[in-house]
Amino acid sequence: MKTILTKANFNLVEKVLKDSFGRQIRDLRISVTDRCNFRCFYCLPNGEPPLARKETILTFEEITYISEIFVSLGIEKIRLTGGEPILRKGLVDLVKRLSKLKPNLKDLALTTNGFDFPKHTANLKNAGLDRVTISLDSLKADKFQEITGVDKLNEVLAAIESAKENGFQPIKLNAVIIRDCNDDELIDFAHFARENELSFRFIEFMPLDSGHDWNRERVVSGKEIFRKINEVFPLKLKETTRGNETAWKYGFADGAKGEIGIIAPVTEMFCGQCSRIRLTADGQIRTCLFSTTEHNLRDVVRSGASRNEIIGFIEDVVFKKEPHHNINDAKFIQPDRTMSFIGG
């Protein structure tokens, strides 16, 4: 049954979004810009590809309208990402608009490289941002620059401090672990999580780099990450099921605060529980990080389609969600768009 939302029934969730495999979609990742000020070699080694034309980028009004429809269909979590979301002018205003979708929207989060974050931390918090994830691929200044292409380690460390000072909890850090690059820092990262009482999440390197230089030898498996940390800091699995979360979460067996998360999409595919869908900055729905087709929601919205027609379009797209990614198949085709455009 479809119900048109009015102010009177806004708190009613219309129905849930399910794909053809019965997976319920609860998590929407919105890329708010395709621009980025870092040049991580695993993502944008050759600089930015041609940027989307300004008029193709969704406005805040459009993002809010689309998000409200998604929330009415059972989306509980929205993560703003990019590119670098802090580069999108007026981000605080967008957070304010989206936070009006609570309480049906249960979680409003941001993924950022941290650069320039401290200028906005308090305003983002006051606007209703619930959680922040900051990327941190090395604790060594020279390695950090080698990976990201910028000399900004201190700025990122300052961003973590400012997230703490402004009461964000939990604060998650993301590191992509790459063989012969930063895999020698796993123990330092774990130590950092303990000392700072943070959740440090380690992600397997995925074939989403614009240089198409990914190769399997450089993937450090989740199992190896676990083993190396566990040898030094024994870990304790927090929950025996992961639900539809991406990470296995571990605490420290000695009771130290802090958390380790391991995200292993390459070696331990978790597509069977996937509850995610993505919206690119130019309004394309992607049903999988590795989709090779996109669905143009922007043009549907801009064509003057009714709310019910937009809902119908979204339902049809979700129904086509892929059963799983094909990274491990011989016929795997890497998507044209990099993580920076898709929105990680």
Please say which residue, 135 or 162, places its beta carbon nearer to ligand SAM: 135
Q: Quote the strand ranges of 156-222, DSSP E.
A: 171-177, 199-204
Task: Work out whether strand 284-286 and strand 276-279 pair parallel, antiparallel, or are unpaired.
Answer: antiparallel
Closest distance between ligand SAM and the C-beta of residue 41, in Å? 9
Closest distance between ligand SAM and the C-beta of residue 224, in Å? 16
Closest distance between ligand SAM and the C-beta of residue 16, in Å? 27
Please say which residue, 202 or 233, places its beta carbon nearer to ligand SAM: 202
Closest distance between ligand SAM and the C-beta of residue 335, in Å? 11
Please say which residue, 224 or 315, places its beta carbon nearer to ligand SAM: 224
| Residue bearing tokens 């940390």 | 229
CB-based burial label for 205 (10 Å; 0-12, 13-18, 19+) = buried
Please say which residue, 79 or 228, places its beta carbon nearer to ligand SAM: 79
Q: Is the backbone peptide bond immediately before 103 cis, with ω within 30 degrees of 0? A: yes
Please say which residue, 200 or 252, places its beta carbon nearer to ligand SAM: 200
> Rounded CA gap, 301 and 185, in Å?
46
Strand order in the sheet with 171-177: 235-237, 248-252, 259-263, 199-204, 171-177, 131-135, 107-112, 77-81, 27-31, 276-279, 284-286, 295-296
Closest distance between ligand SAM and the C-beta of residue 344, in Å? 3
Applying CB under 6 A, which residues contact ligand SAM? 36, 42-43, 81-82, 84, 111-113, 135, 174, 176, 203, 205-206, 208-209, 339-340, 344
> Rounded CA gap, 49 and 337, in Å?
9
Number of helices and strands (H, E) in the chain?
10, 12
Closest distance between ligand SAM and the C-beta of residue 339, in Å? 3
Please say which residue, 73 or 342, places its beta carbon nearer to ligand SAM: 342
Q: Which residue is nearest to ligand SAM (CB)?
A: 344
Select from 269, 265, 281, 299 the least CA-distant residue to 338. 281
Please say which residue, 24 or 37, places its beta carbon nearer to ligand SAM: 37
Closest distance between ligand SAM and the C-beta of residue 84, in Å? 4
Residues shown for the chain: 344
Please say which residue, 73 or 337, places its beta carbon nearer to ligand SAM: 337
> Rounded CA gap, 335 and 326, in Å?
11
Closest distance between ligand SAM and the C-beta of residue 206, in Å? 4
